[in-house]
């Protein structure tokens, strides 16, 4: 009787071990894709525009808390803050880039004299 219980207990332990998949470990994911919104915009001198970097992991889940580094290709025309706010400084064009988790995306910003001629298009 004792041998049967020991065999049953051993079979139960083997079955449980076979069902677990420790090889995957905890689910961790890096940045799968990043989109900068809006992708194009026209603003006036002295106007500000908030850009947003939308980050998604490899599983399609939104990521939060990932540090995004912003940069302007032409700071004389448009500067960008650490939070993604673009300020139009003088007429011209600038590419604003966001870098996070090895992904780089950008927005094309045109600065015009006076007020903006076109408002940024909302995301689809």
Q: What is the pLDDT of residues 100-120, one digit of tens each?
A: 989 999 999 999 998 765 555
Beginning with the edge strand found earlier in the chain, give each strand of the sheet holding 40-44 in spatial order: 40-44, 103-112, 92-100, 69-72
Q: Does domain 25-112 have CATH number 1.10.150.20?
A: no
pLDDT surpasses 90 at 10 = no
Q: Are 100 and 65 in contact (CB under 8 A)?
A: no
Q: What was the pLDDT predicted at 22?
A: 46
Give residue limits of the domains in the chain: 25-112
From the list 39, 59, 52, the residue with the least C-alpha distance to 100 is 52
Are 47 and 113 spatial neighbours (Cβ–Cβ below 8 Å)? no
User: What distance in Å separates the CA atoms of residue 105 and residue 81, rounded to the nearest whole number?
Assistant: 16
Greater model confidence, 26 or 90: 90
Q: What is the pTM of this model?
A: 0.70
Q: Is the predicted pLDDT of residue 121 greater than 60, yes or no?
A: no
Residue-wise pLDDT for 41-85, tens only, equals 999 999 999 999 999 999 999 998 899 999 999 999 999 999 999
């Amino acid at each position: 009787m004792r041998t049967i219980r020991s065999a049953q207990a051993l079979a139960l332990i083997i079955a449980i071990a076979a069902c677990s998949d420790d090889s995957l470990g905890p689910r961790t994911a890096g940045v799968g894709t990043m989109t900068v919104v809006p992708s194009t915009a026209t603003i006036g001198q002295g106007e500000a525009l908030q850009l947003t970097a939308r980050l998604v992991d490899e599983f399609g889940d939104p990521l939060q808390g990932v540090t995004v580094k912003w940069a302007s290709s032409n700071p004389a025309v448009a500067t960008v803050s650490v939070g993604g706010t673009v300020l139009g400084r003088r007429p011209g064009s600038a590419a604003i880039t966001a870098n996070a988790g090895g992904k780089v995306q950008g927005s094309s910003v045109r600065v015009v004299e006076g007020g903006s001629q076109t408002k940024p298009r909302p995301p689809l």
